[in-house]
Amino acid sequence: MNTIALNVNRRAVQAEAEPRMSLADFVRDKLDLTGTHLGCEHGICGACTVLLDGVPARSCITYAVACEGADVTTIEGLDEDDITTELRAAFTREHALQCGYCTPGMLVSARDLVLRLAAADERQIRIGLSGNLCRCTGYVGIVRAVQSVIEARRARNIAPEPDGGRKVLGPAGSGRSGRDGAIQVPQPIQTEPTYASETVASPAEIPDFTPANRLERDFTLPYPPKDVFATFDDIAAVAACLPGASLTAVPSPERVEGAIRVKLGPVAASFQGMARIERDPKNLSGRMVGIGNDRRSRSATQGEIRYQLAPIEEGAATRVDLLIGYTLTGMLAQIGRPGLVRDLAERLIAEFAANLDRRMSGASPEQATAKELKGFSMISGVFRARIARWLGRFVGRDGAA
């Protein structure tokens, strides 16, 4: 248990918090500020949005202990705020709320837009509110409400604040770093970042790393281990079986360069990178260590795949044991939650195994070539599986009762 000190709604607060307690749970459970709502608890829906050092932030994925010395403003702290008062009236006038569950977070984000935007541009408002989801309204009334407040304030010659009151650059809440409240000003970035895959010249320079996340999976193939191992030696064939993967250079026994494209709903990424290959014929095992980046989202990843082939069915078939480790940084890390990645990995491995089976059975290359990862079918399958598990747990509890 840690004792943290911070300012909440202009009041000094000191309270105990578990190291893993989120800021949302802290303000709700410790301070009884229940206007901050919890929705997805994955930083996606925006219901938990608060101001952290003046910047809208997801309180459900922010650790309370990381906010030591920070200024936190919840929806309750905006009761007497002029902009929020105008927004509340506009939300009522434009019928911009129904159940109201998303409204506190929506108002916090809308206030930031009213502060920053010079004009009531619908496209900019929709982009600015894209991190706040509403299941009721269809957003039309919300957008109109924000537009009307911006137009009214600019008509009264109230100038926008391009930085929205931000004092420093950096992550939300980075304006303070201790109880003394000293402002830490980060150094400006002078050049474009250099991605690791752009500087690697040889397989030996692709570094080992400690993965942030690990998955263990396995699948079976109806072929002897030596045949499966020989197929794994054909990098082009293996890449053709992996959905979304493609080679960008002729592979060597020690190195491969390629790309993998993924589209999940509105999120599209194309990771370009390379990997070094290690094989142990004696133990029928191998390892790939790779790095890559998606320039569009400015995200980078490091990955490792270890495989071990084990004979089953008296050597007539093979169990492929996989250990997958990865670290994801950048914008995509905000949606790449471990639970979702695990579910997607299972679907990906299942499709890879099916394609590999077809290729080894002698099917034509076209029949055994994987298609690009299409997010709608894959993501809908993942959600169907999750719903089935949730219903199973519910029915199990109901039956036990």
Interval 270-290: pLDDT, tens:
888 999 999 999 999 999 999
The number of residues in the chain equals 401
> Shortest CA distance to 340 belongs to which of 105, 48, 40?
40
Higher-scoring residue by pLDDT: 355, 187: 355
Q: Please, which pLDDT band fits residue 336 given cuts at 50, 70 and 90?
A: low
> Shortest CA distance to 107 belongs to which of 164, 60, 48?
48
CA-to-CA distance for 398 and 401, rounded, in angstroms? 5
* Interacting residues of 286 by C-beta distance below 8 A, sequence separation 6+: 232, 277, 278, 279, 280, 306, 307
Backbone angles phi, psi at 303, to 5 degrees: -140, 155
SS3 181: coil
131-150, pLDDT tens digit by residue? 999 999 999 999 999 999 99
Identify the structural domains of the chain with CATH numbers, from first to last: 2-155 (3.10.20.30), 196-400 (3.30.530.20)
Residue 213 confidence (pLDDT) above 90? no
In this structure, are residues 35 and 75 in contact, taking their beta carbons and an 8 Å threshold?
yes
From 48-62, 184-198, 237-251, 367-381, the region with the lowest mean pLDDT: 184-198
Mean pLDDT of the region 356-366: 80
Residue 171 confidence (pLDDT) above 50? no
Q: Which of 131-145, 200-214, 365-379 has the highest mean pLDDT?
A: 131-145
Q: Please, which pLDDT band fits residue 163 given cuts at 50, 70 and 90?
A: confident
Q: Which helix (H) or strand (E) holds 91?
A: helix 82-93
Tokens encoding 385: 């599986």
pLDDT at 371: 53
Residue 15 confidence (pLDDT) above 50? yes
Cα angle: 186, vertex 190, 194; to 5 degrees? 105
Higher-scoring residue by pLDDT: 294, 158: 158
CA-to-CA distance for 174 and 185, rounded, in angstroms? 9
In this structure, are residues 168 and 185 in contact, taking their beta carbons and an 8 Å threshold?
yes
Across the chain, mean pLDDT equals 81
pLDDT at 322: 93
Residue 91 burial by Cβ neighbours in a 10 Å radius (0-12, 13-18, 19+): buried
Percent above pLDDT 90 for the chain: 50
pLDDT at 32: 93
Residue 203 confidence (pLDDT) above 60? no
pLDDT at 348: 81
The model's pTM is 0.47
pLDDT at 349: 85
pLDDT at 395: 52
pLDDT at 2: 84
In this structure, are residues 37 and 105 in contact, taking their beta carbons and an 8 Å threshold?
yes
pLDDT at 331: 65
Higher-scoring residue by pLDDT: 202, 32: 32
Tokens encoding 376: 């709608």
Residue 207 confidence (pLDDT) above 50? yes
Mean pLDDT of the region 362-390: 53
Q: Please, which pLDDT band fits residue 334 given cuts at 50, 70 and 90?
A: low
Residue 190 confidence (pLDDT) above 50? no
pLDDT at 185: 41
Residue 111 confidence (pLDDT) above 90? yes
Mean pLDDT of the region 197-224: 75
Mean pLDDT of the region 289-314: 89
Q: Which of 91-95, 193-197, 287-291 has the highest mean pLDDT?
A: 91-95
pLDDT at 332: 67
Backbone angles phi, psi at 43, to 5 degrees: 75, 20
